[in-house]
Amino acid sequence: MLNVLNQLPELIAFVESVECNSFSAAARSLDTTPSAISKRVAKLEDRLGVQLLQRTTRSLSLTTEGAAYYERVSRLLRELDDANDSVISRGKPRGKLTVSTSLDFGQWLLVQSIPQFLAQYPEIQIDLRLSDRVVDLVTEGIDVAIRLGTLEDSRLMVRPLGQTQFVLCAAPSYLKTRGILTTPNDLIHHNCLQYMFQGRPEPWMFWVDQEWQAIPVKGSFYSDNGGALKNAAIAGLGITRLLGFQIKQEVERGQLVLLFPDQLTPGLAVHALFTHQRNLSPRVRVFLEFLNRYCKQFLGEMEKNLKTMA
């Protein structure tokens, strides 16, 4: 145990260097010098007999051995921080909570809930990171990630938060010019604005003749951003398919009209992901509980409201 305690400055320097991606940034974070950080990491490498970091003049990168070591050490240090917080606060939720989710979900749904959560837990600070790429919770120090759609990382713990709903919509001005659609098959004669997922447009599926069918839509505008598709639809460019939470306000204002709401497939499932931990920190535990209540209520009510507005 004493040997481990003696290594703590080296371990902290290593983890901070990885997360800051430079010795200089790690030194500023730990209030020391880049030289001191570099020496601590080198001493750790000598002790282990392996190279943990590849150094260049501009950045650092983990070796294969370094990545495996970082994953375990960073988790241990976070658990130590959580243990300290739990004792200091006597189990009261406090400290920094790092949350990652997609740009659309974060801007249009999660941000609305954060003020309510922070009002309940004023000693928690949230670092919200919005990105459409799949982040690595361990290497990027993420406490909770909220993801939509299919999950692939089996190393993580998962908590279902609810189900979104696909909606088809267009501006009243577009429908007035191009005519009202009577069946999903009419879409082949319209300008359809499509979402690009991993470089390809997603198929539009509808319940037609007692089975799910893909309608071969085409159009003049594609994007990997829901906001861009929504704004193009509002401008009267064409018909688009989005998730309900992305266009709820625009439907309520009359800027967009829903089409075939009872014939579309369900949307993407929403999940909270977090790393394997025997005892969750109080701040993560209460955030997961809050998300579970808020998302299920919000998404459930939104689906009912959209159907009544159709």
Instruction: Name the residue ranges covered by the structural domains of the chain.
Output: 2-74, 89-160+269-309, 164-267
**pTM: predicted TM-score of the whole model, two decimal places:** 0.68
Q: Which residues contact 144 (CB under 8 A, 6 or more apart)?
A: 97, 98, 99, 100, 272, 273, 274, 284, 287, 288, 291
| Helices 282-309, 111-120: crossing angle, 10 deg rounding | 140
Residue 258: exposure state from Cβ atoms within 10 A (0-12, 13-18, ≥19): middle
**89 Cα distance to chain centroid:** 29
Is-contact 132 103, C-beta < 8 A?
Answer: yes
Ramachandran region of residue 253, left (φ > 0), alpha (ψ -120 to 50) or beta? alpha
Would you mind telling me the total number of residues written for the chain in this entry?
310
CATH code at 2-74? 1.10.10.10
Name the superfamily (CATH) of residues 89-160+269-309. Answer: Periplasmic binding protein-like II (3.40.190.10)
Nearest-angstrom CA–CA distance, 97 and 110: 14
> How much is the pLDDT for 170?
96
> How much is the pLDDT for 194?
95
Phi and psi at 122, nearest 5°, equal: -70, -15
Q: Give per-10-residue mean pLDDT for the chain (310 aa).
A: 69 85 84 89 89 82 86 78 62 85 86 92 93 80 88 78 91 94 93 88 87 91 92 97 90 92 86 77 90 85 66
> How much is the pLDDT for 2?
45
Tokens of residue 64, six digits = 């294969």
> How crowded is the C-beta side of 212, counted as CA atoms within 13 Å?
6
> How much is the pLDDT for 163?
87
Same fold across 89-160+269-309 and 164-267: yes
Nearest-angstrom CA–CA distance, 149 and 170: 24
> How much is the pLDDT for 1?
47
Name the residue among 243, 212, 211 with its Cα closest to residue 226: 243
**Domain 164-267 fold:** D-Maltodextrin-Binding Protein; domain 2 (3.40.190)
| H-type alpha helices, the chain | 2-20, 23-30, 34-48, 64-89, 103-105, 111-120, 172-178, 226-234, 244-252, 282-309
Is-contact 302 244, C-beta < 8 A?
Answer: yes
